[in-house]
Amino acid sequence: MRWEEIIGHKKEIEMLRSAVASRRLPPAYLFAGPEGVGRREVARALAKAVSCPEGNRGDFCDACSVCRRIDSGNFPEVIFYGAEEGTIKIEKIRELNKLLFYHPGEGSRRVIVIDGAEKFTPQAANSLLKILEEPPGGAIFILIAPGPEGLLPTIVSRCQRVLFSPLNGEEMAAYLEEKRGVPRVEAQAIAASAQGSLARALAITPESRQHLRELAGRVWRETDAGTGLGEEVMASDRAELLEELEFFRGLFRDLMVWKLSPGKREKGLPLINPDLEDLLEAERERDWEDIFRRLEILESTISLVRANANPRLAADQLFLGRN
């Protein structure tokens, strides 16, 4: 994927291209931002720009052997590390330290991309800090994390931060329409509900939207009845449950916007789920106190699931209305 094919982040990309062209790259970057907005794609493109023998002025050809091998993970001077079993352990950093003692066999510089940098164990973080204090052989580190939280301040201080914001809905809708063949109206609805994440937008299908629509209707009915049907209705898989909970958080946010709108079908409302206006209209008279209580329960449930609570118990909390 060439620089021009990456959706959004034009200012950040231009800054990176200029740094490569001027050969003034810092020893370490922190690519910070939410999941699914393109941090990994930009990291891979930067690795190609640094390594491509055909590139110039911060660009890369995206067609030579080096670029193709970076894409396939087979270029030895571009190394991708990620969290295994939920953490990045010191053994990985020791392995990396040994590798950096050797000069690059191809190209002039190594690029090390560490995905999930917030998941370092304390020992691994301290070991990496020692490497960043004196990066050997002109190595360039790219740390990918939601933000500086969870990272040692001394590591953050040695990185140039690049902030990745949620993607523009119109840009995502255009991509879905032009590159994926999604009808325009559906593409706009998917882009709005994806909340700035292209990865989330690509995972949304007409079937998944219909599932969420049916789930919303049932959840609202059953929570009003006060029955604990979380085990029966909500997903048991942690990742799927989080997706459903995030959907409901967005839907309740939409309901607040909808209740504040003067007309039943006012155009141009900033809705996360513009394709679910009929559900919002059906809930227009829902009590504000109930909406705020449900949102509080949702936030609590999301926190529980992220903290590795039992997904079934967390879903039941939502249905029973407890927090």
CA pair distance 175, 299, nearest whole angstrom: 31
Question: Of 3-12, 123-132, 305-314, which range is least confident?
Answer: 305-314
pLDDT for 195 equals 80
Write out the DSSP string of 18-62: HHHHHT---SEEEEE--TTSSHHHHHHHHHHHHH-TT--TT---S
Q: What six digits make up the tokens of 167?
A: 């993607």
State the amino acid at position 97 in one-letter form.
Answer: N
CA pair distance 224, 262, nearest whole angstrom: 26
pLDDT for 225 equals 46
What percentage of residues in the chain have a pLDDT greater than 70? 88
pLDDT at 14 over 50: yes
pLDDT in tens, 160-190: 999 999 999 889 999 999 988 888 878 888 8
Phi, psi (degrees; rounded to nearest 5) at 120: -60, 140
Going from the C-alpha of 289 to that of each of 205, 248, 285, 292, the distances in angstroms are: 33, 17, 11, 5
Q: What six digits make up the tokens of 273?
A: 């789920």
Map residue 296 onto helix, strand or coil: helix
Are the beta carbons of 109 and 49 closer than 8 angstroms?
Answer: no
**Average pLDDT, rounded, for the chain:** 85
pLDDT for 236 equals 65
Provide the 10 A C-beta neighbour count for residue 225.
9
Class (C level, CATH) for 3-163: alpha beta
Q: Looking at residues 115-143, what average pLDDT do you find?
A: 90
Question: Of 76-80, 163-167, 190-194, 215-219, which range is least confident?
Answer: 215-219
CA pair distance 187, 175, nearest whole angstrom: 9
